[in-house]
Amino acid sequence: MDAFSVVPPIAAILGAAVTKRIIPSLVVGLLAGAVIKSGGNPLTGAVIAGEYLSRVVADENHAYIILFLFGFGALAEMFKVGGGISGFAKAVDPYVQSEKGALLSVLLVTPVTFLDCCFHVISTGTISRPLLDKTGGSKEKLAFIINTTSSQLIVLIPFATTYLGYILGVTGSAMSQAGIAGSPYMYYLASLPFNFYSILMVVISLVSIFWSFNFSFFRLADPAYKKDLPEGDHDSHEAHEECAFAEKVPPRVANLLVPLALLLLMIIYLFWWTGQAKGANSLWNAMMNADYEKAIFTATLATIVFTAVIYGIQRIPMKELQSHFLSGGTEMLPPIVILIFAWAITGVTQDLGFNSFIGNFLANNFISRPLVPLVVFAVAGLASYFMGSSWGTWALVMPMALSLAATTDANVSLTIGAVLAGGSIGDNLSPLGETPVLTAAVTDLPLTIHVNYVLPYGVVAIALSSMLYLIAGFFYK
């Protein structure tokens, strides 16, 4: 039975590679595992699949993560009607007189737009693009900065992001499958220095603001080449209706800053409160033992209520707030569904004996401990590029990566960092990625031009990251 345990994840990965659709592929993987579990009976397999799905949804920690993701998406959408974004744009406009200033405005806004990748893209695009147009700067470079600070910087922020809740869900489930004890949040924190690709891309994007790089050998740097590039499946106007803000009140920066400050303070306080309730006698011990899922969801819920109240006082119609609450939460349904099916596949593969199979066959015959981080980074990178989904890649690769790490005695934090780094590649470089598509739309660029402009920077980061994972695999045990 152990050998059949690889069928569910392989079926899901192959399905995603062929169809470029992660959710149907996860369904196929789960059904395949459930049918194997049933002894080959399709009807019984369907019942077993339903049992696995209901079991993961009923889990308390899983439920908190699902509610947190929905609530965070709703909160980000509610911020769009508060006038905070237009208030920021109005405040910084008099101080921006050059291309460098317009590009730096993306970084200036990031501390209040890091909640969610799409929210950051739309917010920074709304603020920075008019500033860039005023200075006659490069839209290609602006799109590169927006893309990188969305898809790569946010994954490195260890609090108050939609990425965090999702990563904790994927990592916790994978740790359980691999028999790794400890806090998923602590392992995530320890993995941040090992997310080499994301760190390098952020550094490269920051350096590019001050110095230009010539990648003419890629036929990308010279504007004359742009006419030769095809438009691709997405044009620059495709998502404009989705990206436009519908702010209903005059520009008010406080409508964004005050709720955001409350959210961050509530998260920190609830980390401490839930940790000290377990008997921790210091702030650090309390933070280490916190109920992270419960704390983040509770802080999000409190901020939603507070935001609705202060917006209501300003006579923003409750109907408008409800509409944005529901639409924002609905936008998070794809990652929620992916996460639920990933949890279920993890459960069925574990019950089929995946851990022992990895230990007795793959780890002992193919991959030695020092090579695990490099192999994991390569597999995750290829999967994410062809799927265009970092979240889908993390869900598929993390369980296998941590099982491999456990059986080869590879460093767990380094392995998690490699999964997160490789999975981030698609959402940065792939024409199928949500971030490149949305970034091209808000900056009014053809998708192919944007992706081809970012590609050489990404190739450099991939090459350097591969060398770092090879080196780290030998030195970190």
The tokens for 379 are 């597999």
The SS3 assignment for 245 reads coil
CA–CA gap between residue 77 and residue 74 (Å, rounded): 5
Going from N- to C-terminal start, the domains of the chain cover: 62-156+242-331
Q: 163: closest CA among 198, 122, 107, 114?
A: 114
The tokens for 71 are 């609530």
Q: Are 407 and 355 in contact (CB under 8 A)?
A: yes
Q: What single letter denotes the amino acid at residue 351?
A: D
- Output the pTM of the full model: 0.70
Q: Is 351 exposed, middle or buried (0-12, 13-18, 19+ CB in 10 A)?
A: middle
Condensed to tens digits (0 to 9), the pLDDT of residues 283-323 reads 667 766 677 778 888 888 999 999 999 988 888 888 888 88
CA–CA gap between residue 20 and residue 384 (Å, rounded): 10
Q: Are 251 and 87 in contact (CB under 8 A)?
A: yes
Judge whether residue 247 has pLDDT over 70: no
Most confident of 90-99, 156-165, 392-401: 392-401
CA–CA gap between residue 456 and residue 221 (Å, rounded): 10
What pLDDT score does 364 carry? 57
Judge whether residue 232 has pLDDT over 50: no
Judge whether residue 184 has pLDDT over 60: yes
Q: 255: closest CA among 461, 14, 75?
A: 75
CA–CA gap between residue 345 and residue 264 (Å, rounded): 33
Condensed to tens digits (0 to 9), the pLDDT of residues 117-159 reads 777 777 777 777 777 777 777 788 888 888 888 888 888 888 7
